[in-house]
Amino acid sequence: MRHLNEAFDQRVIALPEVHDGNRVALAFAGPALEAHAKLIEAQLGLPARKWVAGLAESAGVPKSAAFRI
């Protein structure tokens, strides 16, 4: 995880471990996901910012914390 965080400027979400100790990590590069979410909402009418909030919640990020992915 440390190497992923270094490579992706701390823009990594690690989902909780599942059975057998496996873990899924999502790493983001490029513009912030929030900007993409706003564009998706504007163009397609889909609730993309809620999806980003769900990712933050899955990662255990407090709602009051800054979350930049």
The 3-state DSSP composition of the chain as helix, strand, coil percent (nearest 5) reads 45, 10, 45
Mark residue 9 as left, alpha or beta (left: phi above 0; alpha: psi -120 to 50; beta: remaining).
left
Measured between alpha carbons, how far is 19 from 40 in angstroms, rounded to an integer? 34
Q: Let me know how long the chain is.
A: 69
Query: What's the average model confidence in pLDDT over 21-33?
Result: 85
Query: Which of the four pLDDT bands, split at 50, 70 and 90, describes residue 54?
Result: confident
Ranges of each domain in the chain: 2-58
Q: Which residues pair with 13 in a beta bridge?
A: 26
Question: Mean pLDDT across the chain, nearest whole number?
Answer: 84
Whether 58 contacts 15, CB under 8 Å: yes
Name the pLDDT band for 41 (thresholds 50, 70, 90). very high
